[in-house]
Structures are given as C-alpha cells and as structure tokens.
Chain A
Amino acid sequence: MRSMLKASVAALAAAATLAGGAFAGSHQLSGDLKIFLDTSNPAPRATMEAMIAQFQDLHPDLNIETTVIDREEYKTQIRNFLTANPPDVNTWYAANRMRPYVEAGLFEDVSDLWMEPEIADNLASTKGAMTIDGKQWGVPYTYYQWGVYYRKDIYEELGLSEPSNWDEFKANCQAILDSGRKCYTIGTKFLWTAGGWFDYLNMRTNGFDFHMDLAGGNVSWEDDRVKQTFMNWKELIDMGAFVDNHQTYSWQEALPFMVNGDAVHYLMGNFAVAPLRDAGLTDDQLDFYQFPAINPDVALAEDAPTDTFHIPANAANKDAAREFLRFVVSPDVQTEINNGANLGQLPVNAMSGVDDDKFLNEGFAMLSSNSPGGVAQFWDRDAPAEMAKVSMEGFQEFMVKPDNLDRILAKLERARQRIYR
C-alpha cells in the first residue's frame, strides 16, 4: 500500500509537470488559499493531499491551507463554515444536494469557467448535474457507476449467465434461492441503500424523466405508475430474495453475506469493490453487470453520483480558487486522481484515460454508451433532503412489510404535499 501510494504521488508529480505547461501562461497567484475537504478516508485523503501538493509546486507563492473534515461531520458543518468562516474552495455533491446553498447565495456562480473551451468541451457530460437556474455552481472531480456486483464463481457453479431482462433476472434469483442462498445482500439501517433499489426499479419501470418528475414533486406517490414500481419490487421481496434482517445492518455489515457466499448480488456503487477485494474476493469471483431492463419501452438510465468542488460566495481568494478548479478538472490530473491506486473511480474529463480496471472499464462503457435515458445522481441527491428522508424510511418499511404499501404511499403523498408547497 505504501509503495503504491508513493508510486502514485510520483506519477501525480509527473502528470502535474505535464499539466504545468498549460498553466505557465496564467499570471502568478499569491495570497492564501483555504481548502476544505470531506475526503476523510485514508486513500482519498492521500490522493487529495498529493494533488494539492502539486498545485502548490505550480504556484509557490500561494499559501495553501488544507482542512480535512470527517465525511459525515462535513454534511452538517458545511452550513456553519459557508456562512461564518468560508474557505476558498470546498467539496460537496452535485444536483439537488447543492440547491440549498445555491439558493441561499452561498456558492459562487462559476459559469465563466464553463465557458472556457477546455471545460465546456470536455466536461459536457456532467454539466447538467452542476446546473441550477441555467448557471453552473462548481466543477465535478470524480464520479462512479452503480450496478449489480455479483459472485461469478457461484453463477458458474449454478450454470447461470448475466440476465438481460427482468424475467431472466428473476429466474436467476429463483435458481439461487433454490440452491439455499439469498439473491441480494443489502443493509438498510442507514436507509440510503434502499434508495438505490428504488432508483433502479423506478427508472427501469417508468423511465428517467418520470423518476425525475417524482423527485421534483410533480407526480403523486399514489400514482399507478409508482405502484407498479413497488409491485415489481414486491415480486422480489415475496420470493425472499433479500437477506433477512437487513434493517439491522449498515452497508458494510452486509458485505460478509456476499463474501461468504450466502448472498450472490449486491446492488451498489463502485466503492463496494475495494472492501470486497480486501475481504479476499478475486476478480475471477467478482463481476459486474448493468441492472437489466424491466419495461422494454423505457430507455436505460443509470445512477452515477458526482462529487464536486465549489467556491463559496464569500471566499477571499477567488482567483486562486478558480485556478485550482481548472487544475482539478484538467485531463492529466483527472486521469491520475481517479486511477485504481487513488480514488478508483471515473474521471469527469473526456480527454482523461480510465485506469485499466475491470469494473472501471465496464462502468465507463456503460455510462458513456449504454445509458441513453440519462444519468441520475442518487435518490438522496436528486430529491430534496426532507423528501429523501421520509421516502427512504418508507422504502425500508416496505422491504420489511410489503403489505403496508398503501399506508406507506399515503404517508409519502402527504409528505409530498407538505414539502413541495
């Protein structure tokens, strides 16, 4: 691990030297640059610190001060520091998750950066997620695919193949259940994992646009189309497809079921690959497929949550902050920070290379060519926070007590009328 980190720092240095040429023309930056990060896990933290060190080398007169805040703490602290003691650059999430700060006037409008050809041409795919009211409020630095991770060795043992439609999906599951295993592991204690299932089932049943309308509060929760999504979900629940007692586990606590072979699939983001590999699963045992189509009439759409950098409206050194944002999204830096040794995710810049990793390659291919319907952020980033909370609680209850569906939907409908008024 250590040598890997060292290697990546060295490679990053090389990348930045290359990138340096591009920045040579810009004027010399000076003063302080305060950066607040939520990348508190060891690997992302090292990646970010190495990247910032490179930016420092490019601009020796700049006094960079980096603060790393625990990822969960950050979600509440951001409100305080944006109003009281703003840094010059901070991390956050795309789409609706940034709306409260945009509407409160706490994020700087960076549409000017998005007019520059290097960004306008190469970051087009994430522009929508960064846009509110026709303006852009930050830049993305990484994103990752969601999909079905599964135990290839168990598939081979049972003679199954990757499903391409809903019936095959269920048939595979029945075969797995018959072999005494569970189809899907999940831990819903912290609710959001159930949101992933809802995203996929609803986008496959009713399509991306309907899904976004629902997240935007324009559709009743008691609509028959929403009920159809839950009926599809109920088919799986009634089969006993999900692990028992999932409401007691976090997503990490649900991993052992898959590692031990008690469950075969995990609908998750690509960040689940690292702990599964750490637990001893090899690439021969672990594989990935796109969530299959349910309703053949709707275009496939995917979840791909995007993490972002923003400039607070009250930042002191906006020139340096803009330069930092340009640096972060430049092709070489993107290639480097998203490679397998660093974040292990997908670069946002179209000119960047994707690291030669089986899951990253599959994910990149899926998002760039096989997601014609659109790319969603994730339920708790697309829907307003309050609606996300109430609804994900409803999803959890539904997964435990599917017969309560009508009561749950009535409750969500009441919440919708209150929240979006």
Chain B
Amino acid sequence: MAVAADAVQLETRSWFHRNQQAIAPWLFLAPGVLFFLFYVIFPIFQSFNISLYEWDGLGEAEFIGLRHYEDLYWEFADRDAFFVSLKNNLLWLLLYLLAIPAGLFIALFLNQTVVGIRLYKSLFFFPFVISQVVVGLVFTWFYDPTFGLLNTMLGWVGLGPINVLGDERFVTYGIILAGLWPQTAYCMILYLTGLNAVDPEQIEAGRLDNAKGWKMLWYIIIPQLKPATFIAFVVTIIGALRSFDFIAVMTQGGPFGSSRVLAFYMFEVALSEYGFRMGYGAAIAVVLFLIMLCFIAYFLWSMYRDQKGGR
C-alpha cells in the first residue's frame, strides 16, 4: 500500500523537482553567466564586427572588409603610430615584470621582527594605496626639465639636464618607472603574505643540509612562494596592459606620439577630441585582444593544470 502511494507520488512530481540536483547549479550561475555573456563575450564579437566598417559614430557605417587591418599593417611596416604603440606595449610587458623580483626582495627585507616593522611595511605599501593619477602627477613634477627634482639631483653629480618626458628615447622608460613604483609595492604585499606561509620545518631541514644565502632562497623559499609568484605575474601583466592611466596623465601619448600604447592609441583614434574613427579603433582593440588572449590562455591553462594536479 505504502509502496504504491510512493510510486504515484514519484510520477506526479514535476520535471523541475525531479531534476533539481542538476538544475540548481545552473540557476545559481545564470545571473553571472548572463552578465558575462552580455558585457564581455558579446562586445568582443561586436568589436570585431565594427572593425570591418568605416564609421564615425554618427552617420551610416560603411562596410570595408579588412581594410582597417591592412592600414594597421602599413602603419606597422612604415614604423608609424601602430608600430610605436605595439613596441611600447611589449616594453611595458617586459619591463613591468621587474616589479616581481623587486617586490620579492623588499618583502624578504621586511620579513623580520624589529620594533615598528608594521609601520615600515605600511610605508612601503603606501604607493599602491594612492591613486595612479596622483603617482603620475608626482612623477611628472619629478621629471620636470626646469624645476624637477631629478635634474637637480643629476646636477649634484655633474650630469646635464634631461627632459625625460619630452624626449622620445626616454619617455616610455620614464613612465614605466613611475608605474613600477606602485606595482612593486603590490608584489611586495603578495610576497609578504606568501612568506608567512613558508614551512619553518623545511627551512630547518635546509639548514641541516647546509643550505644558506642564495641557495636557501632559490631551492627552499622560492619554490614555496610559487602561488604568490603566479598571482604577482598575473596582476603585473594586467597592470602593464592597463598603463593607459599613466600615459594619459603624464604625456597624453606625446611627444609626437612616441609614448603611446595600443590602449591609448585606440582611445585616441576612437574616442578622443580628434578621433571618432570607430572602426579603426575597434581594429586596434581586436589586435590588443589577441595579445591578451595569449596571456589569458596561458593563465587558464596553468590554473586548469594546477587544479587537476590537486596542488
């Protein structure tokens, strides 16, 4: 009797009730997935689509196929704006990574117990707390050719004045240095937390085996900091691709466009006062996206591998 009742009940339960277990995770994911599709995935395809048109944002869009990419290729071949931006992007990506070893060494230096160490740590972390715009302004004044501190200091050792932000040879390095200041602090804080998690027993064991100095660092400490290094790498790459703020504040891409990166060039072409070539801007965005895709693929792959390995 009871068994028969159960069977009836089982069949009258709705489809939703029967599949609750399978559906629930998708329901919880749905808002996130929808937002991601709508605000990230869809615009990627939209950008690619716009890059095939000549469009000023107001009038009719005219389909021109891949001509924007052809123009970009010629700009690259002529070493014009696109070439300069791409080259600067690579410089940023490479040199910005210096923040990782610099952050590591400051973290090692601060990883000791003396009176007031918390204060010193917060002082070193300070540049990351202030806005990038402020950092950019401070460095602009520091580099100022007439009144700047840099040239005053160079004067002490008898070196001539240099106009860092006005010289196309130095300008990108000058801005990268400004960017490294807060980025180093960020890497430092990541390593400081990582150092807390280093296993004292392994250090003990290393000591017994006569490891010290560089060997201790290289074979015992750094392998244990691998998760922190991975995160530091990720945020630094992202930081390098976000160099827009510094460039906008410090040079506006100048002098004569020699400090532009792709993101800034895209903004100039598509959205600035003299811009509004939406298609061309979108084409630059697509190139920038393809560059980022290399890193995204690497990050995804290494996270997937770590999860499979169970770490």
Do A76 and B58 have beta carbons less than 8 Å apart?
no
Per a CB cutoff under 8 Å, which of A100, A189, A247 touches B276? A100
Chain B residue nearest in CB terms to A404: B256
Per a CB cutoff under 8 Å, which of A100, A393, A397, A400 touches B56? A100
- Which residue among B78, B165, B257, B271 has the maximum number of chain A CB atoms within 10 Å of its CB? B257
The distance from the CB of B120 to the nearest CB of chain A, in whole angstroms, is 35
User: Which residues of A have CB within 8 Å of B163?
Assistant: 244-245, 247-248
User: In whole angstroms, what is the CA distance A47 to B30 when docked?
Assistant: 54
Contact A393:B256 (CB < 8 A) given known A72-B273, A76-B273: yes
The distance from the CB of A71 to the nearest CB of chain B, in whole angstroms, is 11
Interface residues of A in 240-265 (CB under 8 A from B): 244-245, 247-248
User: In whole angstroms, what is the CA distance A380 to B273 when docked?
Assistant: 10
A351 beta carbon closer than 8 Å to chain B: no
Contact with A along B48-74 (1 / 0, CB 8 A): 000000001111000000000001000
Per a CB cutoff under 8 Å, which of B144, B274, B277 touches A248? B144
Contact A247:B252 (CB < 8 A) given known A79-B57, A104-B59: no
Do B145 and A389 have beta carbons less than 8 Å apart?
no
Do A247 and B254 have beta carbons less than 8 Å apart?
yes
Per the CB 8 Å criterion, the residue count for chain B at the interface is 27
User: In whole angstroms, what is the CA distance A189 to B163 when docked?
Assistant: 13
Contact with A along B253-273 (1 / 0, CB 8 A): 011110000000000100111
A170 beta carbon closer than 8 Å to chain B: no
Per a CB cutoff under 8 Å, which of B80, B165, B268 touches A411? B80
Per a CB cutoff under 8 Å, which of A106, A190, A393 touches B257? A393
A83 beta carbon closer than 8 Å to chain B: yes
The distance from the CB of A251 to the nearest CB of chain B, in whole angstroms, is 13
Interface residues of A in 169-217 (CB under 8 A from B): 189-191
The distance from the CB of B14 to the nearest CB of chain A, in whole angstroms, is 45
User: Which residues of B have CB within 8 Å of A247?
Assistant: 163, 166, 254-256
User: In whole angstroms, what is the CA distance A262 to B146 when docked?
Assistant: 12
Contact with B along A379-403 (1 / 0, CB 8 A): 0100001101100011011001000
A101 beta carbon closer than 8 Å to chain B: yes
Do B254 and A396 have beta carbons less than 8 Å apart?
yes
User: In whole angstroms, what is the CA distance A76 to B146 when docked?
Assistant: 34
Contact A418:B71 (CB < 8 A) given known A104-B58, A244-B145, A411-B80: yes
Per a CB cutoff under 8 Å, which of B59, B78, B255, B273 touches A397? B255
User: Which residues of A have CB within 8 Å of B256?
Assistant: 247, 393-394, 396-397, 400
User: Which residues of A have CB within 8 Å of B71?
Assistant: 418
Interface residues of B in 257-297 (CB under 8 A from A): 257, 268, 271-277
The distance from the CB of B64 to the nearest CB of chain A, in whole angstroms, is 11
Chain A interface size, under 10 / 10 to 19 / 20 to 34 / 35 or more? 20 to 34
Per a CB cutoff under 8 Å, which of B78, B146, B271, B276 touches A245? B146
User: Which residues of A have CB within 8 Å of B145?
Assistant: 244-245, 248
The distance from the CB of B176 to the nearest CB of chain A, in whole angstroms, is 18
User: In whole angstroms, what is the CA distance A75 to B273 when docked?
Assistant: 6
Chain B residue nearest in CB terms to A415: B80
User: In whole angstroms, what is the CA distance A189 to B247 when docked?
Assistant: 13
The distance from the CB of B299 to the nearest CB of chain A, in whole angstroms, is 34
The distance from the CB of A288 to the nearest CB of chain B, in whole angstroms, is 27
Do A189 and B274 have beta carbons less than 8 Å apart?
no
The distance from the CB of A283 to the nearest CB of chain B, in whole angstroms, is 28
User: Which residues of B have CB within 8 Å of A75?
Assistant: 273
Do B274 and A389 have beta carbons less than 8 Å apart?
yes
Contact with B along A90-112 (1 / 0, CB 8 A): 00000000001101101000000
Chain B residue nearest in CB terms to A248: B166
Do B271 and A76 have beta carbons less than 8 Å apart?
yes
User: Which residues of B have CB within 8 Å of A103?
Assistant: 59
Interface residues of B in 35-59 (CB under 8 A from A): 56-59
User: In whole angstroms, what is the CA distance A199 to B58 when docked?
Assistant: 29
User: Which residues of B have CB within 8 Å of A245?
Assistant: 145-146, 163, 166
Contact A100:B58 (CB < 8 A) given known A244-B145, A385-B273: yes
Do A385 and B146 have beta carbons less than 8 Å apart?
no
Interface residues of A in 242-301 (CB under 8 A from B): 244-245, 247-248
User: In whole angstroms, what is the CA distance A181 to B166 when docked?
Assistant: 21
User: In whole angstroms, what is the CA distance A83 to B163 when docked?
Assistant: 44
Chain A residue nearest in CB terms to B148: A248
Contact A76:B255 (CB < 8 A) given known A103-B59, A248-B163: no
User: Which residues of B have CB within 8 Å of A397?
Assistant: 255-256
Kindly list the 8 A-B residue pairs having the minimum CB-CB distance in the complex, ordered from nearest. Answer: A389-B274, A397-B256, A104-B58, A247-B255, A248-B166, A245-B145, A385-B274, A247-B166
Interface residues, chain A, with chain B CB atoms under 8 Å away? 72, 75-76, 79, 83, 100-101, 103-104, 106, 189-191, 244-245, 247-248, 380, 385-386, 388-389, 393-394, 396-397, 400, 411, 414, 418
A-B contact pairs, 17 of them (CB 8 A): A76-B271, A79-B58, A100-B58, A189-B252, A189-B254, A244-B145, A245-B163, A248-B144, A248-B165, A385-B274, A388-B274, A393-B254, A393-B256, A396-B255, A400-B255, A411-B78, A414-B78
Beyond A75-B273, A397-B255: 17 further Cβ-contacts under 8 Å?
A76-B272, A79-B276, A106-B58, A189-B254, A247-B254, A247-B255, A248-B165, A380-B274, A385-B273, A386-B277, A388-B274, A389-B274, A393-B256, A396-B255, A400-B255, A411-B80, A414-B78
Interface residues, chain B, with chain A CB atoms under 8 Å away? 56-59, 71, 78, 80, 144-146, 163, 165-166, 251-252, 254-257, 268, 271-277
